[in-house]
Structure 1
């Protein structure tokens, strides 16, 4: 088991975490190391284990509580381990799987857990598993079923990479299939059949002509999208297809519920059969919550809208205002070139310490 020094510099701690492989479903070694480190180096915290998730919290009787949540799993290794350090004109960087998504954020949270002994808010830390795979396996969902009170608070900070800027709320996401049917025939006698692939012309035209909204909520601009992501159809090179399926992804602003978003795409594709295969609710910005406003002030920057879906939506569904705030450029997540500016790790740690101390 690797030894984690929670009192070390968060940059060094990030490097240590990265060198512990923790692909989704195989987080056991890292969870063991985190649990042992918290029990040995953060005796002021209550610590529990739930599967490959580790949770810790203070019980100081503060009038408010902040939940810090970070997933400890990564996508599969892509010849990007062990961690590598590089120094250039722009400063020092850590290269390697998880440096951005999101072991830099985990390192910051672990450092806070061990070293902040008298915060102005009670603190809960949730280091969870299986975020990078299907939603049904997400460790937060399991924790919500087995230890729901551990997710309660006045603000949740999810440490997803956000370029060290507070990203508020998140878009909702729908994935659905538009299905067209026809009749098979030999292509030598195509007039005897009905080509289902050709029938996709109309829904594809509607997509091409679709005007996506830009929605301003609490001063933040959310850009929506409706995009074809897959087309399937046909059984053989000499057979007129009798079925074709167009898969579409809709990203929508948090002024709509899931139900309203479903009604909207049903109107866009009026006359076609839709099958919804994935639904993720949005999260409102939540910046009017007192603790969220305090975090924005501590960061000293302008918050931006989250143009994507993250686990902040799980907290928002529980009535907990939530934001994304972590080191790293999210466009580098899941790439072989994943790397993080070490100044962002240090900066996020400094802001959160100020937030907890002020």
Structure 2
């Protein structure tokens, strides 16, 4: 098993863990390395659940902060191993996971090793299966088996945010809109009913849809409703009797699950609609005292998080949470994924300053 040297710089740690492939479902090698590295630190109590590692200080501080990062990536596409490149005169690290989100994980590992006497107690979480169905997510599993580990006054997810602070997150919903017809030989199409043709009004409604921008606690979240997949038909000479359009609704964190689902049903009124996945968002939570101290320490102006992230899992436990990590979220999952080295250093300095008052 490759060893992690937690005395290395955050940049070097990023290189090391990005060069250890950990596509969702194949995180064990990296999880083993993290477990071995943090398990050797006397100031941390370490707990493991599958490929999720939790390490906690227990100093009796008045407040506790949870800091989390996922260790899996989307599939590799010729972008491992990493390499150093220069973009517009600035050094970057290129490769899968550099943005989403192993640079953030590297910063967390570095600080977990060095901060034996922080001003708050810290729960560090490194978890598996974030990039796939939420039921597989390591935090989902942990929230069921060890909800006590989520007790905190404030939480930070190391999701890429360009080194800025992104509060809360949008919710996300997936639904299948179905149209049905009657099968027939395509040479005698008039005998059947074409389910794919019947889906045309579904696409027309999506094309005409105007997404809302909604202010939530001072941050404006942009919504979106889009077709992301479509399928129908069984053969090239058969009139299809079923067409399914999968839609994805990104909704502001002011909406609950029932309201979001009802909105999708309303948009596609008259069609068969099945909601197949739904995760509510998280309000910004930036009015919490620790959040205000954090913003001041890192010198950041808060922004909304448009995508769904695991801050929502902490929000469900009543813990205000933000996203704060190196990397441009526009490059997450991109084949040209790359992170500026300066952002890795900046995020490390910001977190260190806040956690130590120095």
Q: Same fold judged by TM-score > 0.5?
A: yes
Consecutive unaligned residues in structure 2, runs of 5 or more: none
State the 1:88 CA deviation. Answer: 5.1
SS of the residue corresponding to residue 12 of structure 2 reads helix
Query: What SS does the corresponding residue of 2:176 show, helix, strand or coil?
Result: strand
* Unmatched 5+ stretches in structure 1: none
Which residue does the alignment assign to 1:145? 144
Secondary structure at the aligned position of 1:246 is classed as strand
Alignment correspondent of 2:334:
335
How far residue 260 of structure 1 moved from its aligned partner, in angstroms, is 0.4
Alpha-carbon distance in structure 1 between the residues aligned to 2:272 and 2:122: 48
Q: TM-score, normalised by structure 2?
A: 0.95
Instruction: Say if 2:65 and 2:155, in contact at 8 Å, map to a contact too.
Output: yes
Give the secondary structure class of the aligned counterpart of 2:243.
strand
The 1-side partners of 2:125 and 2:43 are apart by: 16
Question: 2: CA distance between counterparts of 1:149 and 1:131?
Answer: 21
The SS at the match of 2:220 is strand
* Aligned equivalent of 1:346: 345
Correspondence 1:164 to 2:174? no
- Structure 1 residue 233, shift from structure 2 partner: 1.8
Deviation at 1:255, TM superposition (A): 0.9
The answer as to 2:228 corresponding to 1:238 is no
Task: Give the secondary-structure state (helix, strand or coil) at the position aligned to 1:198.
Answer: helix
Indicate the residue corresponding to 2:263 in structure 1. 264
Map 1:312-331 onto structure 2 (within 5 A).
Answer: 312-331=311-330
Residue 34 of structure 2 corresponds to: 34
> Partner of 1:9 in structure 2?
9
1 CA distance for matches of 2:50 and 2:198?
48
Q: Deviations over 1:274-326 (max 9, x none)?
A: 11111111111111111112111122121111111111111111111111110
1:114-168: CA deviation from partner (whole Å, max 9, x where unpaired): 1112222110100111112222211111111222211221111111111111111
CA distance in 2, matches of 1:336, 1:200: 33
Aligned position for 1:22:
22
Match of 2:227 in 1: 228
Map Cα deviations across residues 57-96 of structure 1 (whole Å, 9 max, x no partner). 1111111111010111122222222221224543221112
Query: How much has 1:184 moved relative to structure 2?
Result: 2.3
Residue of structure 2 equivalent to 1:198: 197
Would you say the 8 A contact 2:20–2:30 is kept in 1? yes
Give the match for residue 279 of structure 1: 278
Could you tell me how far apart the structure 2 residues matched to 1:85 and 1:205 are? 46
Aligned residue for 2:51?
52
Sort the Cα spacing of 1:198 and 1:77 in 2 relative to 1 into closer, same or farther, 3 A.
closer
Q: Secondary structure at the match of 1:5?
A: coil
Q: CA, structure 1 residues 25+196, in 2 after alignment: closer, same or farther (shift >3 Å)?
A: closer
CA–CA separation in structure 1 for the residues paired with 2:32 and 2:201: 54
Larger deviation, residues 157-166 vs 329-338: 329-338
Cα drift, residue 238 of structure 1: 3.0
Range 24-33 or range 98-107, more displaced: 24-33
The worse-fitting range, judged by mean Cα deviation, of 66-75 and 199-208 is 199-208
What are the Cα deviations for residues 25-83 of structure 1, in whole angstroms up to 9, with x where unaligned?
2222222221221122x311111222112111111111111101011112222222222
Aligned-residue CA RMSD (Å): 1.5
Contact 2:217/2:283 (CA < 8 Å) preserved in 1? no
CA distance in 2, matches of 1:187, 1:78: 40
Residues 240 and 2 of structure 1: is their aligned pair in 2 closer, same or farther, counting only changes over 3 Å?
Answer: closer
Aligned length: 357
Shift of 1:106: 0.7
Report the CA distance between 1:272 and its aligned residue: 1.3
SS in 2 for 1:197: helix
Conserved? CA contact 2:98–2:339, under 8 Å: yes
* 1:100-115 → structure 2 map (5 Å cutoff): 100-115=99-114
State the TM-score, normalized to the length of structure 1.
0.95
